[in-house]
């Protein structure tokens, strides 16, 4: 994936995040899993299938855990994967670590608003994953959540 590819996929993930049903206590996030050949494997967004599902979780749930394409795939998420959550036993950071995915691209670090200190990026890197942050797109990913941040 080139930087231009990363930007293009992240722009699509940001568009996807606009589909999230609004919620008072949760961010709107879009996620896309892209295979090594540059083909979209799955996507997801916050609250897509139930009130608590996260974007990365929703995208991952659409592929078999042993899908061979996951090994070379990149997961794009508009927000840093969560490292703490009440609604499910596993955080998105853990779900990604348990998957064969080894590259994650994010636009926006989780602010200390709903969780005191999200350590998704640090935890993924400690697990050996490459994490790329597209700082130039952070403002656009954040803008979808202006209702929470006002």
Active site amino acids: 56
In this structure, the chain runs to a length of: 150
Look up residue 64 and give its two tokens: 């078999």
Comparing CB distances to Zn ion, the nearer of 54 and 103 is: 54
Shortest Cβ 57–Zn ion spacing (Å): 6
- Give the separation between CA 67 and CA 33, rounded to whole angstroms: 12
- Give the separation between CA 131 and CA 96, rounded to whole angstroms: 12
Comparing CB distances to Zn ion, the nearer of 41 and 118 is: 118
Shortest Cβ 107–Zn ion spacing (Å): 15
Q: Which residues bind Zn ion (CB under 5 A)?
A: 54, 82, 92
Nearest to 58 by CA among 40, 38, 32, 26: 32
Shortest Cβ 51–Zn ion spacing (Å): 14
Pairing type for strands 130-133 and 74-79 reads unpaired
Dihedral class, residue 20 (left if φ above 0, else alpha if ψ from -120 to 50, else beta): beta
Residue 125 three-state SS: helix
Comparing CB distances to Zn ion, the nearer of 92 and 97 is: 92
Shortest Cβ 83–Zn ion spacing (Å): 9
């Amino acid at each position: 994936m080139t930087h231009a590819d990363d930007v293009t996929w992240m722009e699509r993930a940001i568009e996807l995040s606009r589909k999230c049903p609004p919620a008072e206590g949760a961010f709107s996030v879009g996620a896309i899993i892209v295979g090594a050949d540059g083909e979209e494997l799955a996507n997801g967004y916050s609250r897509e299938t139930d009130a608590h599902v996260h974007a990365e979780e929703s995208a991952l749930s659409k592929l078999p855990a042993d899908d061979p394409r996951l090994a070379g795939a990149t997961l794009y998420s508009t927000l840093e994967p969560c490292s703490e959550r009440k609604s499910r036993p596993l955080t998105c950071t853990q779900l990604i670590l348990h998957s064969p995915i080894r590259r994650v691209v994010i636009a926006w670090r989780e602010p200390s608003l709903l969780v005191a200190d999200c350590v998704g990026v640090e935890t993924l890197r400690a697990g050996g994953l490459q994490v790329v942050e597209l700082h130039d797109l952070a403002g656009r990913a954040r803008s979808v959540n202006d209702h929470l941040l006002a």
